[in-house]
Structure 1
Amino acid sequence: MSQADADALLQEVSAYLKPEDVAQVRAALEFSRAAHAGQLRQSGAPYVTHPIAVARILTPLHLDVHAINAALLHDVVEDTPVTLEQIAEPFGATVAELVEGLSKIDKLEFETQEDAQAENFRKMLLAMARDVRVILIKLADRLHNARTLDSLPAEKSARIARETMDIYAPIANRLGLNNIYQELQDLSFKYLHPNRYAVLSKALKVARGNRREVVSKILEAISKRLESHQIRAEVKGREKHLYGIYQKMQAKSLAFAQVLDIYGFRILVDDVASCYLALGALHGLYKPFPGKFKDYIAIPKANGYQSLHTTLFGPFGTPIEVQIRTHEMNKLAESGVASHWLYKASDAQISDLQQKTHQWLQGLLGSLAQSGDSAEFLEHLKIDLFPDEVYVFSPKGKIFALPRGATTVDFAYSVHTDIGNRCVAAKVNDELVPLRTELRNGDRVEIVTAVQMHPNPAWLGYVATSKARAEIRHSLRTLHLNESARLGERLLAQALTAMGLRLQDMDEAHWEKLLRETGVKSRQDIYADIGLGRRLNMVVAKQLARQGDTISSDALGNAVVTIQGTEGMAVEFAKCCRPIPGDPIIGIIKSGQGLVVHTHDCPTLRHGRGNEQWLDVVWDKNITRLFEVSLKLVVANQRGVLAKVAAAIADADSNIENVNFSSEGEYTATYFTLQVSNRLHLATIMRNLRKIPEVVRITRLKNSGS
């Protein structure tokens, strides 16, 4: 069988490659056959049948000789003793580089399968950024593997199918390779849900016979209508792919019999003007469904796809989905970024698509470079490959493509990282909206920024793009590190002061010796480690000053930290006791968390010190920020009492953050979370509340669980 496939491959490449290139393909074919001699696939077939099949998947795209040769040799380095140098010598450096980009990282050891998978994807994407042929070959490789999953155990075939559905099929879609995309989805569906696949396949075959007459009537009616309007067109009926039908059934909770539009129609015309003329003619033949028209010609998809989509009321009430496009658009829709090799007619269109693909890859690699671990990397990758898109406009009319579910924060980061980091508000269609507002097709979005703003961790709960998620996490990590470093510097200075020394007197020689001994890169990292509780300030002070092996406990006790309230994430105010300025406080350094401030009488402190470092802390005299405090009010159930309470709080210049109620017979327990500046401010609020006759009892809740 492999010989027949090999002959077919040579015949296919002969149709578009030069004779000397065909000779190179023949040489690569023999090289691959010799290298894989004796190796078998799981199915029992000679291994060389796989690289031949991969190369044959690429020939309809008219990929060049380098790509075809790399497809034939893509497993040689990984599965045989052959080296890249042995490939580069006869076939050139380009083929060797493509093969290297396709080889898995199997020489390194990883703790988990997820880590190994993440690193292989990272390597593949880097190679893909250099040469898009890497991913075209990889997709062909994955497609042939998906076609032959029958020979693998069910568990392994399901794992490969899930990876294909989550990552490879969306990549094919993103690159505009429509046929490969749909086949990858159908094959993945087959192995992820074998029973559903079998039932749907059988139902589709039956429906195909039953609806043949209706389809032919519609085809004839459309053709006659276009002809009567002097529109030269090619009309085709097409069956929706199986997974597409399944998705529709899932999304709309339909039985198969209720999915009437399993057939669609494609109309190919000569030019763009004819697309819109054909649309008008069809809307005169069958009534269009309101809201079911999409113009991807005026606003192309990110993968370069262009077409008019409309849904019509057909005969017997059958919905008809119609796509109208030019022949060039159809070529681009089928081959996507591979059109560079297949078609030379629309160079401007193709170069624009290549530029968009390159920008997408660079953006993806930029966000992936900031991923903290393999799980985060794969999460970013899957988010970025999310296929459904909405198209929104900047105030100047620039179009931005974002995934469905994207918010104004996603838009801000897609404009520029600095815009995202500093956004404070957003306007959609000239109306102020919350930052979590989801965007819809055609929205005009304007972002309001402020210099002093930083990303909010809450944004991670509703952003939909990998770029936004990666930039927010990166900024928060950097911000946390900087704030921790500032806190660590203060802690170290105070520890040295307790020893009778000054931080500014520590010269460069002291620091260089300390950095060498600890293996840390910079002072900033030492400060950050102290601020995050990874190193004890007194131990570092001792190492820095070289004061011997012991430090008196008195010296440690003299180190008092002043809390300014502006330390950001490096200092946390304990939720268990909610300290506010004026409360006696104590600090605990928790490893990896930084300094946590509690009240002296916090119940949590009764459990003992454990291995944590305790510090004496005091409030700065000039704190201006607000702190949250919880109050419980027991009030008589009378009309208007809540309004009186709210007015009393407002009169004391406080904001209500949250309020809850709990009925207790004739009385109601009301729980408020208020913003106060200090204990004096809180006392003023409580004094105002006690003047209200209906207020029976006021209690400050120091335990958030109360």
Structure 2
Amino acid sequence: MSATPPTATEVDHDVDSPSSARKYIDAVLEQSFRHLFGPTATPEQPRRHDVVSIANLTSALSGYLQPEEIKDIKAAFHFSDEAHLGQYRQSGEPYITHPVAVAEICAGWNLDAQSIMAALLHDVMEDQGVTKAELAERFGAKVAELVDGLSKLDKMEFRNREEAQAENFRKMLLAMARDVRVILVKLADRLHNMRTLGAVPPEKRRRVARETLDIYAPIAHRLGLNNTYRELQDLSFANFNPHRYATLEKAVKAARGNRREVVGKILESVQRAIADAKLDAEVTGREKTIFSIYKKMRDKQLSFSQVLDVYGFRVVVESALECYTCIGALHALYKPVPGKFKDYIAIPKVNGYQSLHTTLVGPFGAPIEFQVRTRKMHEIAEAGVAAHWLYKNGSADLNDVQKRAHQWLKSLLDIQSEAGDSSEFLEHVKIDLFPDAVYVFTPKSKIMALPRGATALDFAYSIHSDLGNQCVAVKINNELLPLRTELKSGDIVEVITAPYSKPNPAWLGFVRSGKARSAIRHYLKTMRLNESVQLGERLVDQALKGYGFALSDVTPEVWEKLVQWTGNKNRQEIFADIGLGRRVAAVMAKRIEVLMSGRDADDDGSRSESGSTPHAPPVVITGTEGMSVQLSACCRPIPGDDIMGYIGIGLGMAIHTTDCRVAQRIHRRDPGRWIDVAWAPQPGRLFDVAVKVLVKNTKGVFARVAADITSADANIVHIAMDEDLSQESTVLRFVIQVSDRVHLANVMRRVRTNPDVMRIARERPSEEGHHRHDGGMRIDRERADY
């Protein structure tokens, strides 16, 4: 018996490569052995169809690349073919079929020769151990850079799959920010993987589908590759939830027949109206994707028939002026639905998309959605940033798309520079991936696009991180409003700043954009570190005074020994650890005292259990120390109160009043972390304090009591009152700002002169919810807008 000779289609001009010829011979021999002896023991043996052709690829490339470039691409194919020899996909196909398919997708976008070569080589570093230097030597530095950007960090160890995914994603996006071709090749890679996901085990299939839906499909949308975006969504849905996909697909096919008559009638009417307007236009029906139907049903709680009862059409004309003429003709034909006209030509979407959208009431009362655009707008709408390669005519529209993509990629670098780790970076980028946007104006009429749901503070950070950090108020349409105010398209926003203002941790609770979140977190981390170093210095200096030393007395030699003893990098890191409560200042002071006096090095004070040292003066509290020193929300201390300080692990210092029940409970449990503190003679700020006022339930009493408080030079931060107004008396609760206890007493005396006031007292916040292990450290969120 002998193997069947190969057909002409199986042997082409690429078989002259040594690896292809060898695989062909192996395939023929393998088939002969199977005829003679049955299946061989090794399951993954080469087969006859392992001879992979790039004839289709070279045919597509010959339409727009030079012969010399195609020759380089063939060399990249042969190199990849050799590298992947004997490697198979889970479907049983030779692995080389995958990079060839990826390259064919890239050729469909008319990507340049370097991109096609990178597509063919994109797995050789990761799977076959080929080095970047080797690729650079064979194919040039640019191709090596592209392949490196596409390769995973397989040499690094990660704690879990999520960390590995985040770090690999971070690496790819940073490479993408340098060269957008990285993500185009990656999207082609992911698209082919999704098309062939059927051979993958179900659990991995769902995981890859979820990742594609969460990350890669939104990236395609963000870059304007809408065809790729829609296909990735449908493929992800089909693999993540195959039962629902199959059910909807069957229902859609069944519904098409029922809709044919209505669609034909609408199409005929629209074409006649456009012809009457003397427009040369192409009208086509728009098919909803399976995933878009599912998403609309889920998000808007609609039935299948409600979603499918909306008919969609696209009209493509020659010029932007004709777009508006066409809309006029359509509105004359069918009645428009109020509020449903959107002009994305005048104000394009953030990914460069341009069209006019309108919804009309058609025959039988059916809603009809129309998109009207020019041919160039249509090309950009479908290909997005890839249109740069597809339609190289240097038009302003294409340059604008490239500019928008570049701005977004640049914003990724800003987020990366401020993100603490890869997971945080991925979290921020995911927020900015979805291009649903609101469009607002600066006072100089510049249009700014922000994520839907963005606040006035997001607007400030979108202009510059420093502007956001120093923002104290905003005017929206000339009205002073809180920073958390959600913006609407058309708003005119003006940012008001103060040079000494700084971000409030509570801002993280309402900002929506990734840029704002990363900038705030970065500032708070940096500020917290600096403040912790300063607090650590003060605590060590205070502890050393108990031994008769000052911090300035400590010699560089002692610091060097101390750094070696602690394992820290430098003295600033020691101070930061002390300020954050990771080390005890008293123990450090004892060690310094031992080293300074030259006593036995074993006497290091490490057995000390007390947070204090002999005769150490108290740490002075001004109230302006920042995040490292917090006034506890459980007792709200103000100057004049007797206070004590608790050093929480990793939390800095919390200031409590000495009669605070939360503090007393923690002191019994953890006495070694308490230190003596005292108020500065002139604290540098105002302090929040709560007062409770029992008043007669008379008309206008609320306003009169508030006026009494402000007349005593106190600011009102928060107001609340009992909801039951049927009683003769009611309780008003205020959070006010005072300078000290004397000021508070003056305010209370002034309020007592009001004849409607029956009683006023300082109120301690409820202990409920304060049974904590952080010493009462809590960010006060009541002033989130200030």
Q: Are residues 1:407 and 2:469 paired?
A: no
Shift of 1:3: 5.4
Output one character per residue of 1:247-266: Cα deviation in whole Å (capped at 9) or x when no partner.
22233321111124554222
Q: Are residues 1:681 and 2:738 paired?
A: no
RMSD, aligned α-carbons: 2.8
Q: Are residues 1:26 and 2:61 paired?
A: no
Output one character per residue of 1:501-527: Cα deviation in whole Å (capped at 9) or x when no partner.
233344555545544654545544433
Any residues of structure 2 matched to 1:105-120 within 5 Å, and which?
A: 105-120=153-168
| Contact 1:588–1:612, Cα closer than 8 Å, also in 2 | no
Partner in structure 1 of residue 107 of structure 2: 59
Q: Secondary structure at the match of 1:474?
A: helix
Q: Which moved further from structure 2: 691-700 or 6-15?
A: 691-700
Partner in structure 2 of residue 371 of structure 1: 419
| Contact 1:559–1:615, Cα closer than 8 Å, also in 2 | no
Q: Are residues 1:561 and 2:619 paired?
A: yes
Pairing partner for 1:627 from 683, 687, 697? 687
Q: Distance in 2 between matches of 1:563 and 1:382?
A: 42
Q: Distance in 2 between matches of 1:476 and 1:219?
A: 58
Q: Secondary structure at the match of 2:627?
A: helix
Q: Secondary structure at the match of 1:598?
A: strand
| Contact 1:407–1:437, Cα closer than 8 Å, also in 2 | yes
Change (3 A) 1:692 1:407: closer
Q: Secondary structure at the match of 2:484?
A: coil
Q: Distance in 2 between matches of 1:351 and 1:642?
A: 60
Q: Distance in 2 between matches of 1:641 and 1:113?
A: 61
Shift of 1:579: 2.1
Change (3 A) 1:620 1:609: farther
Q: Which moved further from structure 2: 580-589 or 343-352?
A: 343-352
Q: Which moved further from structure 2: 668-677 or 396-405?
A: 668-677
Output one character per residue of 1:563-586: Cα deviation in whole Å (capped at 9) or x when no partner.
111112111122233222222211
| Contact 1:260–1:319, Cα closer than 8 Å, also in 2 | no
Pairing partner for 1:391 from 432, 439, 447? 439
Amino acid at match of 1:581: P
Output one character per residue of 1:238-290: Cα deviation in whole Å (capped at 9) or x when no partner.
21222222222233321111124554222222222222222222222222222
| Contact 1:364–1:384, Cα closer than 8 Å, also in 2 | no
Partner in structure 1 of residue 384 of structure 2: 336
Any residues of structure 2 matched to 1:218-617 within 5 Å, and which?
A: 218-260=266-308, 262-511=310-559, 514-515=562-563, 518=566, 520-544=568-592, 546-547=595-596, 548=599, 549=603, 555-604=613-662, 605-607=664-666, 608-610=668-670, 612-617=672-677
Amino acid at match of 1:15: G
Q: Which moved further from structure 2: 326-335 or 606-615?
A: 606-615
Output one character per residue of 1:406-456: Cα deviation in whole Å (capped at 9) or x when no partner.
111111111111111111111122222221111111221111111121112
| Contact 1:582–1:679, Cα closer than 8 Å, also in 2 | yes
Change (3 A) 1:488 1:258: same
Shift of 1:75: 1.4
| Contact 1:240–1:263, Cα closer than 8 Å, also in 2 | no
Amino acid at match of 1:681: H
| Contact 1:662–1:669, Cα closer than 8 Å, also in 2 | no
Change (3 A) 1:129 1:624: closer
Q: Are residues 1:704 and 2:766 paired?
A: yes
Q: Which moved further from structure 2: 644-653 or 87-96?
A: 644-653
Change (3 A) 1:330 1:666: closer
Q: Distance in 2 between matches of 1:326 and 1:667?
A: 69
Shift of 1:168: 0.6
Q: Distance in 1 between matches of 2:752 and 2:488?
A: 50
Q: Distance in 2 between matches of 1:297 and 1:233?
A: 17
TM-score, structure 2 normalization: 0.84
Change (3 A) 1:447 1:488: same
Change (3 A) 1:395 1:642: closer
| Contact 1:422–1:455, Cα closer than 8 Å, also in 2 | yes
| Contact 1:498–1:559, Cα closer than 8 Å, also in 2 | yes
Change (3 A) 1:631 1:398: closer
Q: Which moved further from structure 2: 25-34 or 639-648?
A: 639-648
Q: Which runs of 5+ in 1 are unaligned?
A: none
| Contact 1:245–1:262, Cα closer than 8 Å, also in 2 | no
Amino acid at match of 2:680: D
Output one character per residue of 1:6-40: Cα deviation in whole Å (capped at 9) or x when no partner.
33223222332223333333333333333223222
| Contact 1:635–1:668, Cα closer than 8 Å, also in 2 | yes
Q: Secondary structure at the match of 1:211?
A: helix
| Contact 1:380–1:466, Cα closer than 8 Å, also in 2 | yes
| Contact 1:392–1:445, Cα closer than 8 Å, also in 2 | yes
Q: Distance in 2 between matches of 1:196 and 1:348?
A: 43
Q: Which moved further from structure 2: 578-587 or 119-128?
A: 578-587
Q: Which moved further from structure 2: 237-246 or 651-660?
A: 651-660
Pairing partner for 1:97 from 142, 145, 149? 145
Aligned residues, how many? 706
